[in-house]
Amino acid sequence: MAHLKGEDTAMFTRVVALAGTLVLTLTACGGSDNSGTASTNPDDGTQLTMWVRSATDQFSQRLVDAYNQSHKNKVALTIIPNDNYLTKVGAAAGSRSLPDILASDVVYTPNYTKQGLFQDLTGDVKGLPYYSSIAKSHLDVASYQDKIYAVPHKLDSSVLFYNKNLFKQAGLDPEKPPKNFDEILAYARKITALGNGITGWDLAGSCGGCNVYTLFPYAWADGKEVLSADGKKVDINNDSFKAIFKLYKQTSDENLVDSSDKTQDGATWPANFLAGKVGMLALGSPIVGDLLKQTAFEWGVTPLMSPDGAKTATFTGGDVAGIAATSQHKAQAWDFLKWTLEESSQVEIIAKNGDLPGRTDLGGNKYTAADPRTKIIAEGLKNGHTPFALPFGDLFNNPNGPWLETVRAALYGPDINKALADGQAKIQAGLDAAG
Amino acid sequence: MSPVTLTRVETGAPAPAAAPRPSRGPAARRPLTGWLFVAPTALIVAALFLAPLGVLIYMSFTDWPLLADPTLNGLDNYRAIANDDMFLEAITFTLVYTAITTVVLFAVAFVLVAISNSYRRGTRFYRTAFFLPYVVGVAAASTMWWVDAHDQLGVFNQVLRGVGLIEAPVGFLETPGKALFTVIALVVWKFIGFQVIVLLVGLQSIPEELYEAARVDGASAWQRLRYITIPGLKPTLALLTVLSVTGSLLAFDQFYVLTHGGPDNSTVTVVLALYNKAFQSFRLGDAAAEAVVLLVALVLLNVIQLRLLRNREN
């Protein structure tokens, strides 16, 4: 700066002033008009945009295609890789370039409602004739301070899948899935003994979300709350989780799982089971569509159980969809969301493909009821839980977060008790920090 | 490359100290014309660098939510850095990674330069082979290695098994040590081509006559290396050190794609840590403060390095 001559200084001042103006312009682009265009018929040929994460790609595409065929409005769907979804939404929210319709993993939703990403839909949702039968778990996470901001987009549920062919080969009864942790361990040993790269069990050792989805239900079934209803207290340092990690550590130590499981980050988790190389896999209803398509092996399903097998539970996961706060097409976007909840869409598009309807009154529809396996999954929803916490993604799904650190310390470290005590403290600290 | 011309310049006779400063030409007398010439660049710099930098600095003094209005919170974000274990550990890890990468890159580059600087057959093939990975994007290369390092799908394990070196898969990303090794191997594979090419240019710019004269005077191979090659290469080495250190301190893609900072947060770099803060935790103000700290550290480091570079030349 000291070398600047007179005119240079003047120019420098001008550049700084220009930059300052730009900054002010950027930050001032805030208060956009959210009123929306309320025409009499919302199906008026509007172009809508919608974002979903890749976990729901085909599911969302089927809904969007059917809507576009039967309506004047056209929804343009953008599918964003799971890992980049938070980033993309965060950046778009900052620059006010969110789509009209924004889907969100249920566990991230509280963060979005708190940040003001969605428009208030309370009146519209409560006005629906089937309001009382819309999946409550999803409406709960989509509500903030008694207002509803989103509706169920996709509903899924974690269960235990097993390969009946491998059960037969290992001398097990293919109609009798394991009922408790002792049976899981015993069956896993027998199936792994078949050799040829076949493993009895499968786990995702580098994936926080996977281990929420499949481990929390064991503890819920055992009567533990894990996360308090207000999302401010965590409880993982208990006997249930000690039993859960004892089983999982044993399957890992005895090589009843594939060696790649230590680095499994969720991206290729179901692949080994779908290839017929895994005996039992705790995962969720999203893979049912793929399982129904394949003919290489017979598969069965059973609920996730408490360690002693007394009770069962499931993680009711999936996605909700809401209208972004910045959208100028609220009426049209709601027309799409409402249409996805109608019986014809729920049954003929969603249930027909093996997915779960987002309304409890449609649980007994002809497609879900026709297959005993999808029926087991749908009926399991009555024991469904969806955890709530504002910083859920940051603490549990984040690959650098405290939950995955805890899981790995318990699975691959020397001391489960210490791992759980440390994890309890770190996760609780994270919840406290979020207020 | 600039270091080459620099070496040549210093061999020339130094200008007399008393010589008058050359005139700055007509442009100096008509500053407006000069400003017009630089205006496009100045505008681009202002819009794409200065303005975002201004936003960043402002952001670092605020609690900045995604949609609602930001609120100023003074130095809170900067104070929070001192208690942020992940960021502090990331600084240590990044420094260790930078040190190892820089040393390994040079060590491997010297061997490869020795191979490709000879006039044997196949030299061109080697040079091309060393350089090819450099044209692959870092993210693409990391994705390739992510697949290649996989226990079942990956070609690394298949090859090692095929030749009978290992029985069970290695698990290249399984432990902190192995993950760091894999990333460094990727970085060496990816960037060694550039390193070798720059070193070759530096090497070939040393006049052959110097070596001939040294041989006539009876200098040994070691003495020729010590008194001709290394001094002649100094500017090149300094340039490569600056590039390698700065690049390594800003490492992100390879860790984000290949290790996600794992296993057990053992490979979280500074940039990955602040990326997580901004886009996982949505603590934009804290992330901005960390970015400002990183920026200041890098500017200081580069000033020091450039000073050293200048000293070596004088």
Nearest to A386 by CA among A203, A192, A150, A226: A226
Q: Specify the residue for token string 């969603």.
A: A350
CA dist., res. A66 & res. B119, Å (int): 67
B262 contacts A399? CB cut-off 8 A: yes
Name the phi and psi angles at B47, rounded to 5: -75, -40
Helix (H, G, I), strand (E, B) or coil at B219: coil
CA dist., res. A101 & res. B121, Å (int): 63
Gap from B150 CA to chain A (nearest CA, Å)? 7
Q: What is the pLDDT of residue A23?
A: 43
Reported as a pLDDT band with limits 50, 70 and 90, residue B190 is very high
Q: Specify the residue for token string 């301190």.
A: B249
Nearest to A278 by CA among A265, A296, A292: A296
Q: What is the pLDDT of residues B58-79, one digit of tens each?
A: 999 998 876 667 889 889 999 9
CA dist., res. B236 & res. B231, Å (int): 10
Q: What is the pLDDT of residues A338-371, one digit of tens each?
A: 999 999 999 999 998 888 999 988 888 898 888 8
Q: CB-based contact (8 Å) between B279 and chain A?
A: yes
CA dist., res. A102 & res. A245, Å (int): 36
Please answer whether residues B288 and B77 qualify as being in contact, where contact means their C-beta atoms are separated by less than 8 angstroms: yes
A116 contacts B51? CB cut-off 8 A: no
Q: What is the pLDDT of residues A20-50, one digit of tens each?
A: 444 444 443 433 334 444 447 889 999 999 9
Instruction: Read off the tokens for A280.
Output: 């039992």
Instruction: Read off the tokens for A270.
Output: 């179901």
The residue with greater pLDDT, A170 or A435, is A170
Helix (H, G, I), strand (E, B) or coil at A17: helix
Nearest CA in chain A to B279: A87
Nearest to A340 by CA among A39, A75, A81, A44: A75
The residue with greater pLDDT, B57 or A114, is B57
Gap from A282 CA to chain B (nearest CA, Å)? 21
End-to-end C-alpha distance for chain A, whole angstroms:
45
Please answer whether residues A220 and A316 qualify as being in contact, where contact means their C-beta atoms are separated by less than 8 angstroms: no
Q: What is the pLDDT of residue A38?
A: 46
Instruction: Please list every residue in chain B whose beta carbon sits closer than 8 Å to the beta carbon of residue A120.
Output: none
Instruction: Read off the tokens for A355.
Output: 């997915």
Strands A299-302 and A280-284, bridge-based pairing = unpaired
Q: Give yes or no for a cis peptide into B263 (omega within 30° of 0).
A: yes
**What whole-number percentage of chain B has pLDDT above 70?**
88
Q: CB-based contact (8 Å) between B54 and chain A?
A: yes
Lowest-confidence region among A83-92, A124-133, B174-183: A83-92
How far out from the chain centre does Cα B169 lie? 32
Q: Which amino acid is at B85?
A: D
Cβ within 8 Å of residue A140, ≥6 positions away: A386, A388
Strands A150-163 and A312-323, bridge-based pairing = antiparallel
ipTM of the complex: 0.74
Gap from A233 CA to chain B (nearest CA, Å)? 19
Chain A residues within 8 Å of chain B (Cβ atoms):
7, 11, 15-16, 18-20, 22-23, 26-27, 30, 86-87, 90-91, 93-94, 111, 115-117, 206, 258-260, 262-263, 265, 325, 391, 393-394, 398-401, 404-405, 408-409
Q: Specify the residue for token string 């009209």.
A: A100
Nearest to A296 by CA among A400, A420, A165, A113: A165
Q: What is the pLDDT of residues A363-399, one digit of tens each?
A: 888 988 888 999 899 888 888 889 988 888 889 988 8
Lowest-confidence region among A23-37, A70-84, A145-159: A23-37
Nearest to B56 by CA among B296, B300, B239, B221: B296
Torsion sign (Cα): B78, B84, B85, B86: negative
Cβ within 8 Å of residue B306, ≥6 positions away: B242
- A101: part of which helix (H) or strand (E)? strand A101-105
- A76: part of which helix (H) or strand (E)? strand A74-80
Tell which phi-psi region holds residue A96, choosing left (phi > 0), alpha (psi between -120 and 50) or beta.
Answer: left
CA dist., res. A81 & res. A111, Å (int): 19
Please answer whether residues B268 and B89 qualify as being in contact, where contact means their C-beta atoms are separated by less than 8 angstroms: yes
Instruction: Read off the tokens for B33.
Output: 């014309």
Q: Specify the residue for token string 């003495």.
A: B223
Q: What is the pLDDT of residues B119-166, one digit of tens each?
A: 777 888 888 888 999 999 999 999 999 999 988 788 999 899 888 888
Please answer whether residues B66 and B269 qualify as being in contact, where contact means their C-beta atoms are separated by less than 8 angstroms: no
Q: What is the pLDDT of residue B13?
A: 43
pTM of the model: 0.80
Reported as a pLDDT band with limits 50, 70 and 90, residue A228 is very high
Q: In DSSP terms, which residues pair with A161 in a beta bridge?
A: A281, A301
Instruction: Read off the tokens for A133.
Output: 């039968």
CA dist., res. A68 & res. A71, Å (int): 5
Please answer whether residues A34 and A119 qualify as being in contact, where contact means their C-beta atoms are separated by less than 8 angstroms: yes
Q: For the residues of A363-406, what is the DSSP string, one character each?
A: TT-HHHHHSHHHHHHHHHGGGEE----TTHIIIII-TTSHHHHH
Q: Going along A261-366, which residue ranges are E strands?
A: 280-284, 299-302, 304-305, 312-323
